[in-house]
Structure 1
Amino acid sequence: MPAVAPAATAQPTQPAEPDPHALLLAAVQAGRHGEAASIAAAWEGEALRVYGMRSSQVVHWMEVRADLARLADEPGRSCELWIAVAHARIARGEAPSDEDVEAAVDRAHHQFEQVRDPDRARGHAAGLTALREQVPGRRPGALDAIKRRLDTLSDPARKA
């Protein structure tokens, strides 16, 4: 019978799966946005199972999903996910002034501005406004910009 190495000296094995980011990129480049979103959601689910809901790994996959929604020209979904990323980062103890928190809110705001469906945009406005009150960002006027967008949604004759 061959000797078995003790667990303490066993060499870690490399994962057999290819880099999921490469798979995502290939799917996006081929226009398979749904497939890319499913892959990212599966990796997020695994990160949640292994590392827990406040882990950096889960936040990473949330960010990937938000960016994939942007690439799929789904600004409403992207906005929603960036809002969730900002909340997740704050829940992890990151300060509202942290660069990554500000970036998540800025991306949510940018995607909010791209939402073409007025009802969907209005649906994101309250959550984004609450975040902007907590995370104003480095450029003044973000809260006013949300209000102006809501005004234009209420009166389509007005242009921002």
Structure 2
Amino acid sequence: MPAMTLMVRIVSRAEHLRQVIALAEGGRHGRAVRLAAACRAEAVRLYGAQSPDAVLWTEAEAHTAYLGRDPLRSCQAWMSAAIARLAAGEAVDSADVEAAVDRAHHQWQQLTDACHITRLAPELIALRLRVPGRRPGAVTAIDQRYAAHGI
């Protein structure tokens, strides 16, 4: 009986990232977000939620959700990335932390569903109090929009 050779192909992080980008650029945003989320889940399982790999995939998921015009998922992912970076010890004024919070805030402003706006506002306010960013008035702007939706 002839010997069988089993070939296992290991897909690198870079290759998965290229796949996510290609899917997103090809308009297959949902599939791109799902692949990024699966890669994030695997990175969390292997290395922990604050690991650079997990944060990379969280940010990839956030960006592909943004490209797919899904502000809810994008906002949630950007907030998760910011929280993970802070938990990993990054400074509140680091460019990556500020960018994640700014992007979460921007995506939150794109939400139209009052339930989503009011559900995410407290977490975004807490993040903004820790990471005010470079432009003054961010917390006030959140408070005003939050109040406008009956809270």
Match among 86, 104, 107 for residue 111 of structure 1 = 107
**CA drift at 1:16:** 5.4
Number of aligned pairs? 142
The one-character-per-residue Cα deviations of 1:14-73 (angstroms, maximum 9, x if unpaired) are 955671222112222332222111211221122223322221011000000111111111
**CA drift at 1:108:** 0.6
Distance 1:16 1:81 in 2: 24
- The match for 2:129 is 133
| Uncovered stretches (5+) of structure 1, i.e. residues with no partner | 1-13, 156-160
Whether 1:38 aligns to 2:34 is yes
Query: What's the TM-score, normalizing by structure 1?
Result: 0.80
> Percent identity, aligned pairs only?
44
Match among 80, 84, 88 for residue 84 of structure 2 = 88
Distance 1:60 1:29 in 2: 18
- The match for 1:148 is 144
Whether 1:19 aligns to 2:15 is yes
Structure 2 SS opposite 1:81: helix
After TM superposition, the runs of 4+ consecutive aligned structure 1 residues lying more than 6 A away are: none
Q: Structure 1 counterpart of 2:62, which letter?
A: A
Q: Structure 2 counterpart of 1:127, which letter?
A: E
Query: What's the TM-score, normalizing by structure 2?
Result: 0.85
Match among 91, 98, 107 for residue 94 of structure 2 = 98
| Uncovered stretches (5+) of structure 2, i.e. residues with no partner | 1-8
